[in-house]
Amino acid sequence: MKNVAKNFSTVIRCFIFVLFSLTVRVKSQFCHGISQYDRCSPNSACVCYYIAGATDIGICADEFVDCSELVPCEQPNNLCHELNHRCVHHPRCRNLPVCYSVPSFNRQLCPPIATMNSTTTSTIPITTTTATQQIFPLRAPAIDIHPNAKWAQNGLTVAGGNGDGNGTNQVSRPRGVYVDDDQTIYVAEYSNHRIVEWKYGATSGQVVAGGNGPGKSANRLYNPEDVIVDKERDRLIICDTGNQRVVRWPRRNGTSGETMISNIVCIGLTMDENGSLYVAGEGVRRYRIGDTKGTVVAGINGYGHGLDQLAGPSYVFVDRDHSVYVSDWVTSRVMKWEENAKVGIVVAGGQGKGNSLTQLDRPRGVVADQLGTVYVVDQNNNRIMRWPKGATQGSIIIGENGQGGQSNQLFLPYALSFDRHGNLYVADEYNHRVQKFNIEQTTN
């Protein structure tokens, strides 16, 4: 009788676990056969968290969650009542199991390590260097953002916000923002002639390029407008706009930079997965590795309002297909140029300057997600707009409260970037701060 009861209990536990597994499988990937906190994805930020009540089975999830954000699971059944949270062991934070966020996009954020089938039905993880990490375009999210996604309307200040100045807790007229995989923020400060690194959760930044006053020497910058990180070579690439050059600067302990491109108007820049650099200023030019002249890939017919022209290109984004998106400041439109295209198409604005949903007024920073939705800084309207692929009008996602300095307002914003979770960062130029707007809804 005891054996029957024991077997019945085992069946019940297995049924409960399978039911739990079916609940989370669509949103996450499992890790098994590895230790707690072992890497479980090509994305090095993802580690294994053992599921409370299970044996040797965990969920592969992003490790960059502050311990203070975690709450204990409800005992004795290890329950989590908040949507998209799972009860896991996390002894680095708490002795008891905690509720850990496993968002709907987790499987895209933490894809499985490449596997190969053996002669049986089991799979063997490949742990050699041939397993490659998914590559996402610079500044783009690492998830599919639902067309109806929403963001918190009250932003969190993650850099500056302490007035205009040159202190380590201040920024002055931020014009470029880049967010790295670990949520470190790099800010191009136009008026302080420097690039400042702000670690996740930091209350002050560290100067990593420039900061020695304006000038042309190798250790100075002059009105920089944009910055990106070349992770493969561990260096910063900077639009040193006032010096009409693009410079590269060691990301760690660099005391001076090196000129990559001279005598060029550089307002915005980006890089594709091949290491080719795209510079917006007078049209958009692409510089492949070793190329010093560049090739015009957008605005091939010079200055103007035609579909083969650009008038005041300011920021540039390149997607996985090497299509170029560029914000055309004078014509108040965003253009898309497919690879090798002679003519671009309007993907946002293009109806003259204005504040209706079909218009933009001096667009700046631009990013497109994996669905082709365009996100653009509508500078003079103090708002961030979203234009789904093929749409004839956009929607306001941030900044419906007019110009100002409150947490739900912007003052002539300049640039934007996503982190890989889909949170949105805005360089709020004349509020001298960078604002983070957390994504709140990723589905209908």
Please state the rounded mean pLDDT for residues 132-153.
81
Which amino acid, one-letter code, is at 259?
Answer: T
Q: What is residue 381's DSSP assignment?
A: G
| Lowest mean pLDDT, pick from 10-24, 32-46, 147-161, 403-417 | 10-24
Averaged pLDDT of the chain = 86
Number of other CB atoms surrounding residue 222 within 10 Å: 17
Check residues 23 and 174 and name the one with the higher pLDDT: 174
Lowest mean pLDDT among 3-17, 90-104, 112-126, 219-233: 112-126
Which residues touch 122 (CB under 8 Å, ≥6 apart)?
none
| Residue 387 predicted with pLDDT over 80 | yes
Is 80 exceeded by the pLDDT of residue 207? Answer: yes
Omega before 76 within 30 of 0, i.e. cis: yes
Residue with tokens 């069946």: 11
Written as one letter, the residue type at 341 is A
Could you give the CA distance from residue 41 to residue 46 in angstroms, rounded to a whole number? 6
* Lowest mean pLDDT segment, chosen from 140-149, 219-228, 332-341: 140-149
C-beta of residue 386 within 8 angstroms of C-beta of residue 397 = yes
**CB-count exposure of residue 120 (10 Å: 0-12, 13-18, 19+):** exposed
What are the residues whose beta carbons fall under 8 Å from the beta carbon of 64, sequence distance 6 or more? 45, 182, 183, 200
Distances (CA, A) of 363 to 177, 225, 318, 409, 413: 16, 15, 17, 17, 10
Q: What share of the chain is helix, strand, coil (3-state, %, to 5)?
A: 10, 40, 50
Nearest to 40 by CA among 133, 121, 136: 133
DSSP 207-220: EEEE-S-B-SSTT-
% of the chain exceeding 90 in pLDDT: 62
Structure confidence at residue 368 (pLDDT): 96
Residue type, 442: T
How far does Cα 370 stand from its chain's mean position? Answer: 12
In sequence order, what DSSP letters do the residues of 37-52 get, joined into one string? T-B-SSSTTEEEEEBT
How many Å apart are CA 144 and CA 136, to the nearest integer?
Answer: 11
The CA distance from 115 to 123, in Å, is 6
- The pLDDT value given to residue 105: 55
Whole-number pLDDT of residue 82: 77
Give the residue among 376, 311, 304 at the shortest CA–CA distance from 347: 376
- State the Cα–Cα distance between residues 176 and 86, nearest whole angstrom: 37
- The larger pLDDT score, comparing residue 399 to residue 10, is at 399
Q: Report whether 348 contacts 334 (CB < 8 A).
A: yes
Return the pLDDT at 113. 73
Task: Compute φ and ψ for 120, nearest 5 degrees.
Answer: -100, -170
Does the structure show a pLDDT above 70 at 3?
A: no
The pLDDT tens digits of the residues spanning 53-94 come to 776 678 888 876 778 778 899 888 788 877 778 889 998 888
Write the CA distances from 210 to 206, 315, 434, integer angstroms: 11, 22, 19
Task: Evaluate if pTM is beyond 0.85.
Answer: no
Which residues, 6+ apart, have CB-to-CB distance to 336 below 8 Å? 323, 324, 325, 344, 345, 347, 368
Scanning 84-197, the segments in alpha helix (DSSP H) are: 106-109
Instruction: Determine the 3-state secondary structure of 239 from DSSP.
Output: strand
pLDDT value at residue 135: 64
Cα–Cα distance measured from residue 143 to residue 6, given in angstroms and rounded to the nearest whole number: 44
Task: Report the alpha-carbon angle 355-267-153, nearest 5.
Answer: 40
**Spatial distance between the Cα atoms of 275 and 283, rounded to a whole number of angstroms:** 20
Highest mean pLDDT among 24-38, 128-142, 252-266: 252-266
> What's the pLDDT at 20?
40
Could you tell me which residues are beta bridge partners of residue 13? none
Q: Nearest Cα to 354, choosing from 311, 375, 383, 315?
A: 383
316-333 confidence digits (pLDDT tens): 999 999 999 999 999 999
When pLDDT is averaged across residues 340-360 and rounded to a whole number, the result is 97
Q: Which residue has the higher pLDDT, 367 or 121?
A: 367
* DSSP notation for 88-152: E--TTT-SS-EEEE--TTHHHHSPPPPEEE-SSS-EEE--STT-------TT--SS---TT-EE-
pLDDT tens-digit map of 292-316: 899 999 999 999 999 999 999 999 9
- Domains of the chain, CATH where assigned: 150-440 (2.120.10.30)
50, HSE (Cβ side, Cα atoms, 13 Å): 15
Angle (nearest 5°) at CA 112 between 106 and 116: 160
Residue 133 has pLDDT above 80, yes or no: no
